[in-house]
A and B are shown apart, each in its own frame.
Chain A
Amino acid sequence: MTRIARKTVGVLVFAVAACAQNPLSTPQDVEVGRRLFQTHCSYCHGSSGEGGRGPDLTTGQYRLGGSPEQLYRTIRYGIPGSEMPAVRASDDDVWRMAAFVGKIGSAGLDEKARGDASAGKVVYETKGKCAVCHSIGKDGGTLGPELTDIGRRRGIGYLEESLVKPEADVPVNSRAIRVATRSGQTIVGIRLNEDDLSIQVRDTNDSLRSFLKANIKEIRRDQPSLMPAYGSVLSGKELADLVAYLSSLRGVQ
């Protein structure tokens, strides 16, 4: 081994060692982390990290990795381009939350849905017509949120509520709006982004549209969710099966 190579290996070993350590991971730190988690994280991830509006954190699988350093960075800086914000807390408290998440993440993922996932797949593809708006992998529409890994990102209770009461919680990027232009057009769709100059919309024909505010007469934000409420469309069993199917969608591992 050359000197440079030895040095490189040394640096790598040091880097790995640094990644493997959480400076604040005693049982007391984990307990403080659990309580901090209640304040900063439970709104989306559930009080035990079981998921809800945000992903189930008990799976031990995270988009940006599950090492202490990676968890620290994810909590500290958030995930750009996602709904996960940077958490406003001190470095120490971020380490403690990372310690708590690391602990629950190692608990593993239990199948919690009570329905039949394969029957739910049939409901999804036929009676539910879900694929008109939602996609799994490459297949399906793009008006609604992608569902490829929805079982990883949303808990069972949240999925049930979303089917029966779609307006209960709509992600900011999926809110329905109605834009009336000065030239007389009316466009209904999903608000993708907005600043003071323009607004970006995916319309009900699945087209990406952008409008300068100077050309807009009115923006209505009080539109109901574009998703139908399935409580009156599907039977109780069909709903349970559909939830089981959605919960089984874990994306590409």
Chain B
Amino acid sequence: MRVNRSFPALTLAVMTLYGQNPPVTYERLKNADKEPGNWLMYSSNYNSWRFSRLDRINTQNVSRLHVKWLFQARQEEKFETTPLVVDGIMYLTRPENEIHALDAETGRVMWIYRHRNPPRTYNCCGKVNRGLAILGNRLFMNTLDMHVVAVDAKSGRELWKTKMYDYTAAGGYAATGAPLALKDRVIVGMAGGERGVSGFLDAYDAATGKRLWRFNTIPQPGEPNFGTWAGDSWKTGGASTWNNGAYDPELNLVYWGTSNPWPDYNGDFRAGDNLYSCSVIALDGDTGTLKWHYQFTPHDLHDWDATQIPILLDGEFRGQRRKLMAWANRNGFYYLLDRATGEFLLAKNFVKQTWMKEFDDKGRPEVIPGNEPTPEGNDQVWPGVDGGANWMSHSYSPLTKLLYVFAREERRVFTKDAIRHPTTAAEESDRPAGRPFFNRRAPRFAPEESWGKVMAIDPPTGTTKWEHKVVSPPWGGVMATAGGLVFGGTFEGVVFALDAQTGRRLWHFAGNDKVYSTPISYLAGGKQFVSLPVGDVLITFGLD
């Protein structure tokens, strides 16, 4: 299980750099795996593995893990941040749009940057932010009022601030995800799939803040696949890009997942596949041109966003070595795609599902009737509205060659919404008045009706190697480490370390508040730490 014979040398290299704040070049980002002491981007590397190559905390000693320091955010919003750690400094976002630079060994704050949003912003699900990107000496953050800001990593001074879009347009736009930095630019997504927006993915010049390209996730008139939306529904179709993506430097392809089409639970006015909603898009990193796409859920009616983060891995599939993409989707299926061509290779459900009969050769699902939302509420659909997976990160370990997913098993009630146009707020009610819209016999979070599970999936086959069940469906993700461990936190705040081979829980800590994020691990002062937000506190654990 011990990896990396060159690890001490690498550590030494990082230690030497510590305190000097050398710039985080594109070369460093491409080779993020060679700096296991740092956490240089949202998903740890361009493959989105969220795998820590540190093994000082391991299966033998994890029982001694304990709290070393806290960051007390003192705020009421969900604390969804993934910190970055660069050469001993931790950078994290605190809601709404603050950046805090801390000493990663002690948690002491060094500087704070605050972007002030107007009082009314148009976020669907909390005034949250998920984190930062770094390139050179610059940190990049998206804001709720649709700006991208660049901040000097040493001083916290604002270097530029670019308006992405009018945040009050349509039903309201917002940006909550972490940017992705590559080459000389940052890739930035946006949110608003519940508010009748029109989705896009942008690239900005890291030095100047000038926009380099924009890809519209809903085809515009004259573009291919424009006709996949009935009438004018394309104008308000959603298909936002609110999470993070992955990047293949060799293919120069940016991979990003897109959200649901709008209106979420009523497809009456948007007949068609509604491309490129609930899809993965592969874009040229230089130009933003679409190379390929795959739609997981055509004409979605269940808010099953495909905004999970793509996991890139190379390996054998049916005897052939390929560049692969693994994806545990909100709709309850695990997918394997060829990431060079977008070819559908396989799909298999990883949670209970009721909606899909079979896939054709191209990966198009044949839908089972009876799963549509109804005005009075359809309570027979699995997975629930929050999906088998959601935005929380998964993790891939190159040591165990397993994909770790913190999955949600849940039945919920799907109610066909009345349509309310976002700009006029005029509403057509298609509901019988006075009826309750949740089935009284389907309580949402009763332990016997819904639960969570950490799963280890074999990527080439989609088979499950083990499952570790927990009380509630989670809102946090998992991180695998070279120490043979899988870290995560439950909805009740139980922070855990599982044996990556067996799923057995080897260590736990009762955090007693909700976890809405995914752990990271890093080195500071020569020691390994694991950090995770629990409630409004970022807890950092260590051994000594």
Contacts and interface: CB of A to CB of B under 8 A. Distances in A.
A90 B494 contact: no
Interface in A30-57: 32, 35, 38-39, 42-43, 47-48
A92 B493 contact: no
B307 to A, nearest CB: 16
B447 interface: yes
A28 interface: yes
A195 interface: yes
A90 B418 CA distance: 16
A218 interface: no
Nearest to A42: B436
A172 interface: yes
A197 to B, nearest CB: 6
A196 interface: yes
Residue from A38, A39, A172, A194 having most chain B Cβ neighbours under 10 A: A38
A32 B437 contact: no
B435 A47 contact: yes
A90 B437 contact: no
Contact of A172 (B121, B433, B443): B443
B415 interface: yes
Contact of B492 (A168, A172, A194, A221): A194
A35 B471 CA distance: 34
A206 interface: no
Contact of A77 (B76, B437, B496): B76
A7 interface: no
A136 B203 CA distance: 62
B508 interface: yes
Interface in A78-100: 88-92
B469 to A, nearest CB: 9
A91 B434 contact: no
Contacts of A91: 120-123
Interface string A228-242: 000000000000000
A125 interface: no
A198 B492 CA distance: 11
Interface string B449-463: 000000000000000
A89 B76 CA distance: 16
A249 to B, nearest CB: 24
B9 interface: no
B7 to A, nearest CB: 33
A90 B122 contact: yes
A23 interface: yes
B431 interface: yes
A169 interface: yes
A170 to B, nearest CB: 10
B492 A35 contact: no
Interface in A210-229: 221
B437 A197 contact: no
B125 interface: yes
Contact of A35 (B121, B172, B429, B435): B429
Nearest to A26: B425
Contacts of B433: 38, 47
A163 to B, nearest CB: 17
B471 A196 contact: yes
Contacts of A198: 510
B120 A221 contact: no
A99 B425 CA distance: 15
Contacts of B100: none
Contacts of B493: 195
B448 A90 contact: no
B494 A196 contact: yes
B417 interface: yes
Contacts of A88: 124-125
B5 interface: no
B251 interface: no
A32 B420 contact: yes
Nearest to A169: B440
A77 B436 CA distance: 22
A31 B480 CA distance: 50
A29 B508 CA distance: 48
B490 interface: yes
Residue from A32, A90, A92, A168 having most chain B Cβ neighbours under 10 A: A90
Contacts of A221: 447-448
A34 to B, nearest CB: 10
A41 B249 CA distance: 49
Contact of B120 (A23, A38, A197): A23
B178 interface: no
B85 to A, nearest CB: 28
B510 A90 contact: no
A235 B195 CA distance: 53
B429 A195 contact: no
B172 A92 contact: yes
Given A23-B120, A197-B494, A38 B431 contact: yes
A77 B415 CA distance: 23
A50 to B, nearest CB: 11
Contacts of B105: none
B213 interface: no
Contacts of B490: 195-196
A77 B510 CA distance: 24
Contact of B470 (A28, A39, A47, A196): A196
B84 to A, nearest CB: 28
B429 A47 contact: no
Given A77-B76, A197-B508, A221-B448, A47 B436 contact: yes
A195 B121 contact: no
B250 interface: no
Nearest to A80: B76
Interface string B176-217: 000000000000000000110000000000000000000000
A66 B67 CA distance: 41
5 contacts: A32-B425, A43-B436, A43-B437, A194-B471, A196-B471
Q: Top 6 nearest A-B pairs by Cβ distance?
A: A195-B492, A47-B434, A43-B438, A196-B494, A43-B436, A196-B470
Given A91-B122, A195-B490, A195-B510, 8 more contacts: A43-B437, A47-B435, A48-B434, A194-B447, A196-B471, A196-B492, A197-B494, A221-B448
Interface of B: 76, 120-125, 171-172, 194-195, 415, 417-418, 420, 425, 427, 429, 431, 433-438, 440, 443, 445-448, 470-471, 490, 492-494, 496, 508, 510, 512
